Amino acid sequence: MDKIPILRMGAFLLVTIQVDMHDRLALTLQDDLTNRIVETGARGVLIDISTLQMVDSFIGRMLANIASMSRILDAQTVVVGMQPAVAITLVELGLSLHGVRTALNVERGMELLKAAITPNVDGSAHGAVEA
Amino acid sequence: MDKIPILRMGAFLLVTIQVDMHDRLALTLQDDLTNRIVETGARGVLIDISTLQMVDSFIGRMLANIASMSRILDAQTVVVGMQPAVAITLVELGLSLHGVRTALNVERGMELLKAAITPNVDGSAHGAVEA
């Protein structure tokens, strides 16, 4: 296991994290993901963490980094499928996932992304609400 | 790592295989997947194997089993993202993945599934072409 697959779904990229992350895998993912955003012109990144039973500060920082990098490349990041226990742990650890949006599942995450990249009818540039 | 996540995408389910499969994991996947097909009424299953560098007879049989079970539950299966080396190995091993459809990537797999479940305009029941 040397890399995490990145699936293209229309204007979005989907990453499913299933394995324990370690430094090199996280760096590879950041490299691959930023390259894919540039190649495909993706406007959004969905990161599914539904199988993660635990999120430590390393994963939390990695998610925040990916969100920041994507934002610079004009893509929004949504973390989906978080387990209740993970949310509890994150708050107890004092990790607020600053700048990272979340949604209950992939479908809702896609709706969130679609709403965020579609300009409002009333003339304002973006329908996105900043976290 | 005790289970493989199954993501719902509209009428389809998406499974990304990233880890080495062993007996129990394969059984858990079959259980989870068939349950999810029944729960969600999914019409199609996409299995992404883009990170697999090698497919042996065990994985080949598992994919064929999943396709057969899904078919009985009225869902079609498409395997996507196969590496060229995997295709070569499969043929050399004499594994033809009978009854399993393939597509180059998730997007094409979704198009294939959409075409397969949409009735033809000319009056025939299904647009699907059996493999």
Encode pLDDT of A89-101 as tens digits. Answer: 888 888 878 778 9
Quote the pLDDT of residue A30. Answer: 93
Stretches where chain B sits below pLDDT 70 are: 1, 120-131
User: Could you tell me how far CA A36 lies from the centroid of its own chain?
Assistant: 14
* Sheet with B6-9, edge to edge strand ranges: B6-9, B12-16, B44-48, B76-80, B101-103
Has the ipTM of the complex gone over 0.90? no
pLDDT in tens, A47-63: 999 988 888 888 888 89
Does pTM top 0.90 for this prediction?
no
At residue B114, the 3 state secondary structure works out as helix
> Given this structure, which CATH class describes domain A6-117?
alpha beta
Our CA-based measurement puts residue B33 at a distance from the nearest CA of chain A, in whole angstroms, of 15
Give residue-wise pLDDT tens across range B49-67.
Answer: 998 888 888 888 889 899 9
User: Which of residues 7 through 66 in chain A touch B, CB cutoff 8 A?
Assistant: 7-10, 14, 16, 18-20, 48, 50-51
| A81 vs B: CB within 8 A | yes
- Is 90 exceeded by the pLDDT of residue A81? yes
Q: Taking residues A34-50, what's their average pLDDT?
A: 95
Of A5, A9, A20, the CB nearest to B51: A5
Identity at B42, one-letter amino acid code:
A
How far is Cα A61 from Cα A55, in angstroms, rounded to an integer?
10
